[in-house]
Amino acid sequence: MTDQTRPGRLAGRTALITGASRGLGRAIARLFAAEGAHLFLTATNLAKLEETRGLCADAGVELHCHGADVADPEAVAALFDAAVSWRDGLDIVVNNAGIYIGKPFVDYELDELDRVMKVNVYAVFQLTQLAVKHMLGRGGGKIVNMASTAGKWESLNQSVYNTSKHAVVGLTRCAALETANQGININAICPGFVSTGMFDGLHEAAEALNVPVEELQQQVISRVPMGRLVTGEEVAHLAVYLASSESDGMTGQSIPISGGMRMG
């Protein structure tokens, strides 16, 4: 994944990645490890998290797995403390954990809104706040929040998910504004349709919309001007850039990566 004739772009840095057991979190973990970062990986599924660790093992970096449900504020506080203690500090935090519930607006239940907000917003807020406090004492750091094109534009039949991702974009901008002159860079990635883990919620959405899942899959791909889905590794490369010194002059940005589906 990397040019072995040069040091990794994240060499020697310590990163916390949430939602690292699959999909984008796993892709980011693999590329971060290849770029030399030591990784504190967390997710609810510890067995799947150990699989991610195994995929990163050849990179020769330190790896630690920590099972936690980020919907629980006490678990979030505990995992952050554990991550800081692991290698005496954090340089990078990637808020990647998230859940999706898709259905028409009138069919959402309040408990579904609560569930999505706890994972997609409250946990991101809490970890960003903890990370900022920690990084202020270290002279800086990098925070990468996983938003979505759904956090910048409207979408059919996913109002709860869109609400949560708009919140992540707003949080990223405001936190970045308050820390811009203190060595902390806070940015968000806004993927469109991604092949890695893309169809995890597709069956649920197809059932809610009463259409065959294959038909919905084709509808999704037909909306992408490039005619294909973005790959998890492509998103991971953007995460590496935002976590590295190459992005030192950038903060408060929410960057779409969508195969041209959303421009601007």
Q: Where are the alpha helices (DSSP H) in the chain?
A: 23-34, 46-56, 73-86, 110-117, 123-136, 159-179, 202-209, 213-222, 232-243
Q: Give the whole-angstrom CA distance, residue 208 versus residue 78.
A: 36
75 to each of 20, 72, 208, how far by Cα in Å? Answer: 16, 5, 32
Closest to 190 (Cα-Cα) out of 234, 142, 220, 141: 234
| Helix/strand/coil for 157 | coil
Is the separation of the CB atoms in 32 and 239 below 8 Å?
Answer: yes
177 to each of 67, 122, 131, 144, how far by Cα in Å? Answer: 32, 19, 15, 15
User: What angle separates helix 46-56 from helix 23-34, to the nearest 10 degrees?
Assistant: 30
Q: Give the whole-angstrom CA distance, residue 180 versus residue 157.
A: 36
Q: Is 122 a catalytic residue?
A: no
Is the separation of the CB atoms in 104 and 157 below 8 Å?
Answer: yes
Q: Give the whole-angstrom CA distance, residue 99 versus residue 114.
A: 12
Q: 100, 122, 161, 241: which one is catalytic?
A: 161
Which residues does the annotation mark as catalytic?
Answer: 161
